[in-house]
Amino acid sequence: MKMIVAAAFAFVAVSAGALNLVPQPVSVKETGGELKFEGEIAKLAAYSVDSSIPKEGYRLSVTKDGVKVSSSDEAGRFYAEQTLAALVVTKEVPPTKKGEKKTVETSLPCVEIYDYPRYPWRGVHLDECRHFFGKETVKALLDLMAMHKLNRFHWHLTEDQGWRVDVPGYPELVKYGAVRSASVLHGKRASSGSKINADRLNGVKYGPYFYTEADLREIVDYAAKRHIQIVPEIELPGHVYAALAAYPEFACNPENLAERDPRLVWGIEKDVLCIGNDKAIKFMEDVLDWVCKVFPGDVVHIGGDECPNVRWKTCPKCQARIKAEGLGDEHGLQPWITRHFVKFLEARGKRAIGWDEYLLGDVPKSAIGMSWRERSASGAGHKLVSGAAAAERGHDVVMTPCSYCYLDYTQGLKEDPFFYIGGKVTLERCYSFDPCAGVPDGAKSHILGGQGNNWTEYTWNEYDLAWKLWPRMCALAEVFWLGEKKPGFDDFKRRIKAHRAKLVAAGVNCAPLE
């Protein structure tokens, strides 16, 4: 995926005459004829502000005389430019006499487009902890997101298997948390609970891999230029094993972390943050305080999924907290810590978002849910607060159900060289996703949108990642942009063929359609 950075905005159109836009705009009228041009098309467009156009929307007119763009905000102007780039037709003109070189002609079809998004949250998630991809791959992904009018990059930066950010004042985080002594052998499964299947490990040190504050600021800036907000995720109170490897004293049972090695296999880890330890809570506060300063967006993800409470059951500090706060039993600890951090972030002008488990118990309505489970048996078996139920309770929700949005699930291709975590999410399945399905009319305004999730237990490099992302993310991008207005899979399939060819021509390791 590294190679597409520069090429991404200079597509060679493969089928003149058919627009083949992805996502399809809300309204497109081809008016006949073309506008020939030379140079950068965005610079030739006459721009005006029109406050009646919805947020991030735009009006675009291409006639033989020129290009006009209007929008009510900068994001709308930016998306008009993305559409213009996708409309460009490049034709090779053969030489007419000996010694003459062939030339290239660029033109735009004459069109009238009116366009705006259905959902404000159109996201892509990337887990950089199980495997690390680095700055260039992230920037290439941000370029492709912009092209598909996707505007939230959910960056999963901390996990059991790796801690990927260098937080001032906590040097052990990257010393111990950003490197692990081995990984699961490529193409093998080794995730049976906490048991380490030593014969399934590769024995190869992985890391240290992490981002410095300067790296993060560089990527924040790169994303902002593409109208993408980064949503950093710092997992708590579960999925913190790499942090505990760095600071074992923040676990209920520090002796379990004596090797100071992040978790080597995948799956659900029982050693989690000790909620009875004020120093462990202060550590997370310091991390989140720094995150709030580095990431200017208004939302911070605090994880919350798959947190077993077995260690809390027998931990004297956690039991003392339960008593002091009147929390009943260990089930009361996660809602208590969630309330704490929702308020902590609010005091810094941010809203918390978390996986659906964090909505269990009495959690402030300002907390945004990210709905990933469809059955309560998933994850650590916590009761299920469905996305619809959360929205009915008054929480804003981002819908990312695993059976539509998990791009680490098998694509169902005739041939596929890559290895997946399991499940099945075909291109058609992605396209059939409706973020508002099952949500009562009165609660639909709480559905902020959706997101494609890239968990990377079995995704090792940028080629593997690109293959799993594209073209399924193209389908999700159209769902998030058009919502109920999407024209249907047959129409999408016709357009995606040409669109995929453009992606491949630009160097993206895009999977085939079937």
Question: Residue with CB nearest ligand ACM?
Answer: 305
Cα 90 → chain centroid:
32
What is the helix (H) or strand (E) element at residue 88, kind and residue range?
none
One-letter amino acid at 429 equals R
The greatest distance separating any two alpha carbons of the chain, rounded to the nearest whole angstrom, comes to 91
Q: Which is nearer to ligand ACM, 81 or 128 (CB)?
A: 128
Directed axis angle between helix 462-469 and helix 472-482, to 10°?
A: 50
372 lines the binding site for ligand ACM (CB under 6 A) = yes
**Nearest distance, CB of residue 416 and Zn ion, angstroms:** 44
Task: Find the binder of Zn ion among 315, 345, 469, 503 (CB under 5 A).
Answer: 315
**Nearest distance, CB of residue 372 and ligand ACM, angstroms:** 4
Long-range contacts of 290-296 (CB under 8 A, 24+ apart): 290/167, 290/168, 291/165, 291/232, 291/234, 292/345, 292/348, 292/349, 292/350, 294/213, 294/216, 294/217, 294/220, 294/232, 295/216, 295/220, 295/230, 295/231, 295/232, 296/220, 296/224
**Nearest distance, CB of residue 118 and ligand ACM, angstroms:** 24
- Three-state DSSP string of 144-193: HHHHCCCCEEEEECECCCCECECCCCCCHHHHHHCCECCCECCCCCCCCC
Cβ atoms of 86 and 111 closer than 8 Å:
no
What is the spatial distance between Cα 111 and Cα 92, in angstroms, rounded to a whole number? 22
**Nearest distance, CB of residue 125 and ligand ACM, angstroms:** 9
| Residue numbers 224-283 binding Zn ion by CB under 5 A | 252, 274, 276
How many residues of this chain interact with Zn ion, rule: CB under 5 A?
Answer: 6
Q: Which one of the spans 93-101, 201-209, 309-317, 356-364 is the region binding Zn ion (CB under 5 A)?
A: 309-317
Site track for ligand ACM across 301-340, x = CB under 6 A: ----xx----------------------------------
**Nearest distance, CB of residue 454 and ligand ACM, angstroms:** 11
How many residues of this chain interact with ligand ACM, rule: CB under 6 A?
Answer: 5
What is the helix (H) or strand (E) element at residue 106, kind and residue range?
strand 103-115
**Nearest distance, CB of residue 214 and Zn ion, angstroms:** 35
**Nearest distance, CB of residue 358 and ligand ACM, angstroms:** 10
**Nearest distance, CB of residue 219 and Zn ion, angstroms:** 35
| Residue numbers 8-27 binding ligand ACM by CB under 6 A | none
> Out of ligand ACM, Zn ion, none, which partner does residue 372 contact, by CB within 5 to 8 A per kind?
ligand ACM
Site track for ligand ACM across 47-76, x = CB under 6 A: ------------------------------
Cβ atoms of 310 and 250 closer than 8 Å:
no
128 lines the binding site for ligand ACM (CB under 6 A) = no
What is the spatial distance between Cα 150 and Cα 425, in angstroms, rounded to a whole number? 20
Centre a 10 Å sphere on the Cβ of residue 20 and count the other Cβ atoms it contains. 20
What is the helix (H) or strand (E) element at residue 135, kind and residue range?
helix 135-147
Q: Which is nearer to ligand ACM, 164 or 301 (CB)?
A: 301
**Nearest distance, CB of residue 483 and ligand ACM, angstroms:** 24
> Out of ligand ACM, Zn ion, none, which partner does residue 355 contact, by CB within 5 to 8 A per kind?
ligand ACM
| Residue numbers 465-504 binding ligand ACM by CB under 6 A | none
Q: Which is nearer to ligand ACM, 56 or 305 (CB)?
A: 305
**Nearest distance, CB of residue 314 and Zn ion, angstroms:** 9
> Out of Zn ion, ligand ACM, none, which partner does residue 317 contact, by CB within 5 to 8 A per kind?
Zn ion
What is the helix (H) or strand (E) element at residue 486, kind and residue range?
none
> Out of Zn ion, ligand ACM, none, which partner does residue 306 contact, by CB within 5 to 8 A per kind?
ligand ACM
Directed axis angle between helix 213-225 and helix 135-147, to 10°?
A: 20
Q: Which is nearer to ligand ACM, 149 or 395 (CB)?
A: 395
**Pairing state between β 409-410 and 422-424:** parallel
216 lines the binding site for Zn ion (CB under 5 A) = no
Which ranges in 398-469 belong to alpha helices (H)?
A: 402-405, 427-431, 462-469
Burial 320-354 (b: 16+ CB within 10 A, else e): ebbeeeebeebebbbbbbbbebbebbeeeebbbbb
Task: Find the binder of ligand ACM among 155, 295, 341, 355 (CB under 6 A).
Answer: 355
Site track for ligand ACM across 375-394, x = CB under 6 A: ----x---------------
Phi first, then psi, for residue 385 (nearest 5°) are -100, 105
> Out of ligand ACM, Zn ion, none, which partner does residue 315 contact, by CB within 5 to 8 A per kind?
Zn ion
Instruction: Identify the sign of the CA torsion 439, 402, 194, 176.
Output: negative
Q: Please enumerate in sequence order all residues whose Cβ is within 8 A of that of 427, keeping only pairs 6 or more positions apart, or say none.
A: 411, 471, 472, 475, 496, 513, 514
Q: How far apart are the first and last CA of the chain?
A: 21
**Residue ranges in contact with Zn ion by CB under 5 A:** 252, 274, 276, 315, 317-318
**Residue ranges in contact with ligand ACM by CB under 6 A:** 305-306, 355, 372, 379
